[in-house]
Structures are given as structure tokens and as C-alpha cells.
Structure 1
Amino acid sequence: MSAEAAASSAALSAAERWFGDAFARLHPRLQALHREGGRLSGPVAFETGRGLGGLLGRFVLRRLGIDPAKRTHMLIVDISHVADGLRWSRRFDDGPEVVSLFRPVGHWPDGHWCESSGALALELGVDPVDGGWRWRQRACRWRGMTVPAWLAPHVDAGKRVDGDAYRFDVAVRLPLIGRVLAWDGALRMAS
């Protein structure tokens, strides 16, 4: 690779390098967000499962500093670039900061992103859909150890642009228990 090509590649964001030519398939606002980073904010709605799933969902919400009795909360997300990926810092209402690091592995379509938050790490493939994308969970690790599929939580999540809003949805299920927690929202760029 020439020095000029290497410099040009280094100037690209982690998402641009990972997606390659497929980056152009994303909505221009998603491209800008994953190229430049930024702050998003807006209301999000939470739902917990029923039975044991609901108990676990409410436990998780309390651990995140979120009042499970309230359905709607304000979310602020700061997206920034780090040496080997993206850093997403989320804050619900006035609760504690919840940080996820997204590290690209390989390249689209065969590569994946590794999202890590505390002891949990998810291996996520990407399916571009209508200018946005759906995450496709491939593996789950707890403290570096692979969790068997029959025991692992399963995350179904996606993002897209709708008008001037960044729309997302997340649902977490556990085998034999079903839905534990789901949330969605329409966030806007904050100044």
C-alpha cells in the first residue's frame, strides 16, 4: 500500500473502513454519525417481559439506575472514535454512564463488531436494511468465556433514520424465559 493510500485509509472512520464500499448504502445521516461521532438525545420507552423475564428486566433496569416503574426515560448518547473502534456512552435520565466499546473485526459482509460493556461481549454481524442496519448476534462472551447458545442472552437490535430522527430498537431474550427487556426511541442530534 502506498503512503498516500495508507494516509487516506487512516483518515477513514472505523465504520467506513469496516463497511468499505457498502458504507455508501447507509443513510447519509448514519454515515455522518459514524464518520464524525456526535451526541444524540431523546425519549426512550422500556418494556419488561412477563413472569421471570419481567423480574430480570426490572432488576437490570435498577442496576442501570433506571426506575422500572416509569416507561419513558430521557437518553443521551455520546458517540466518539477511539483508537480501534467506537465508544458509545449512554446516560438514562440522571443515571450512571453506561459505556459500550465497539471494535470492528474483519470487514463487511463476513466480519463483525465486538460490543463490550463490562464483563459482557457480543459478536455482532451487520445486515444493511433500507439505509440502516440490523445487528445479527453471532456469539456471546462473559469475562472472555463463550456462553453456549442455549444459555446466552439473545439481542435483537437495529437502527435507521426516519425523517430527522435516529430510530433504534433493542430487545433482549433469554432461552426458556423469553423477553427480559426491550427499548426503543427516536433520538435527535443534540447541540
Structure 2
Amino acid sequence: MPLYRRVLGGDFDRLPPEVRRLHDHPGRLCAAGRCRIERGGHPLARVIAGLFGFPPGGEDVAVRVCFSTARGVETWDRDFGGHRLRSRQGGLPGQPDLLYESFGPSRFTIRPRATAEGLDLQLCGVVLLGLPLPRPFWPEIRGRERVETGRFTFDVAIALPLIGLLIAYSGFLLPEAGTGDKGRAA
């Protein structure tokens, strides 16, 4: 069973079809679109964003994301105008309503919430370099998936206490024909 369907249970079916489609695929699905990327201006924000491999800023950036599933773990390969960022997501044993996303030296515990409008992601824990971070040091993360004009849209922002914005990116994705969906159009 796909990760988000497993974690959300019956609430998964509350999601708009365009959001469900990107999270309910067998094996592999790729989607492409455009996005806007904003990077934080604080000198430490630039250094930290670079360490995590976040893409540079841009107003109209081509984006492609391939979602692959193997052994209950999803790998998200993102390509922001030639800048690649990979993360992995999976379930947490004993916590069926939570998932994790890991990339670079970090692992985030997330509670997804499904509504008729889309998906919201709530941060519930952070591990950095194998050590749990105390709550005052957690980043502020906004993660939303919605549907606008018939297209899957995303809005992600990450900020740190005392430093401010690391990165924010928003845009749209359309599933590519022939990747996990037998060529059906969005």
C-alpha cells in the first residue's frame, strides 16, 4: 500500500483527485511543472541552505519530481532547473499517523493532514546528525499541497529561529504520461 494512503488511512480519500494521484501510484511516477524559489538573505541562511543542497532562487524555474517506491519507502528525486535534491519518506513503527522525511544530515517527523482542499504537513520532530533537536531549535516548516485551475500545486517554506527564511518554493506539477499511470492525463 502506498505510504500516504497507509499513513492517512480513510482520510486519504478526502484529498482532491490531483493530490491523491501523486501519492497513490504503483512504483514510479514523474511529474513536471514550474516553480518560484526564494532563498533567505541572512548569511547563515545561505550557508545552511547550501549545506542541505537546496536549489538557488529563481522566478520561473522548471521543476521535475520523480516519486519511486520500494519496500515501503518513497524516494523523491527533485530537479529544479538542473539542481537536484533527493529525499526519502517512510512510515514510523508504532506511530501509524506519522511519517519521516530525510535528506542530508536531517530527519523530520511529519504528521500529514488530509482535507477536501488538499494536504497539510505538520512538523512533529527533528533529528540532526543523529541527535534529536529540542523544540526551540526546530525550523518552522510550511508544507501544503492543493489544486488550482485543475493542477496539483505545492507551497513549501523553511525558516530557522533567529536566522529567518532558508528557502521557499511554490508552483505546480502535472503527471507525465507513461510513468506509473499508463499514460492517463491529469
State TM-score, norm by structure 2. 0.82
Flag structure 1 segments of 5+ consecutive residues without an equivalent. Answer: 1-11
| 2:89 aligned to which of 102, 110, 116 | 102
- Structure 1 segments, 4+ long, off by >6 Å, are none
SS in 2 for 1:18: helix
Mapped partners of 1:80, 1:156: distance in 2: 23
- RMSD over aligned CA atoms reads 2.1
Q: What does residue 64 of structure 1 align with? A: 53
Contact 1:164-1:188 at 8 Å conserved across structures: no
Mapped partners of 2:63, 2:50: distance in 1: 13
Mapped partners of 1:63, 1:88: distance in 2: 15
| 1:85 has 2:85 as partner | no
Once the two structures are overlaid, the 10-residue window that deviates more, 123-132 or 77-86, is: 123-132
Contact 1:124-1:138 at 8 Å conserved across structures: yes
Mapped partners of 1:32, 1:74: distance in 2: 21
Quickly say closer, same or farther: Cα 1:103–1:179, change in 2 above 3 A: same
- Measured after TM superposition, the shift of residue 65 of structure 1 is 7.2
Mapped partners of 2:89, 2:31: distance in 1: 17
Contact 2:35-2:169 at 8 Å conserved across structures: yes
Q: State the structure with more CA Rg.
A: 1
Higher strand share: 2
- Measured after TM superposition, the shift of residue 104 of structure 1 is 1.6
What letter matches 2:142 in structure 1? D
| 1:118 has 2:104 as partner | yes
- Measured after TM superposition, the shift of residue 15 of structure 1 is 2.0
User: Greater RCO between the two (CA within 8 Å, min separation 6)?
Assistant: 2
Which runs of structure 2 are paired with 1:1-191 in the superposition (5 Å)? 12-36=1-25, 37-50=28-41, 52=42, 55-59=43-47, 60=49, 64=53, 66-68=55-57, 70-95=58-83, 97-105=84-92, 106-107=95-96, 111-191=97-177
What letter matches 1:34 in structure 2? H
- Measured after TM superposition, the shift of residue 145 of structure 1 is 0.8
Mapped partners of 1:66, 1:14: distance in 2: 26
- Measured after TM superposition, the shift of residue 84 of structure 1 is 2.0
Contact 1:167-1:184 at 8 Å conserved across structures: yes
Mapped partners of 2:44, 2:145: distance in 1: 25
Mapped partners of 1:171, 1:66: distance in 2: 13
Identity %: 23
Q: 1:55-92 CA deviation, whole Å, 9 max, x = no partner?
A: 34444259737444x33321110012121221111011
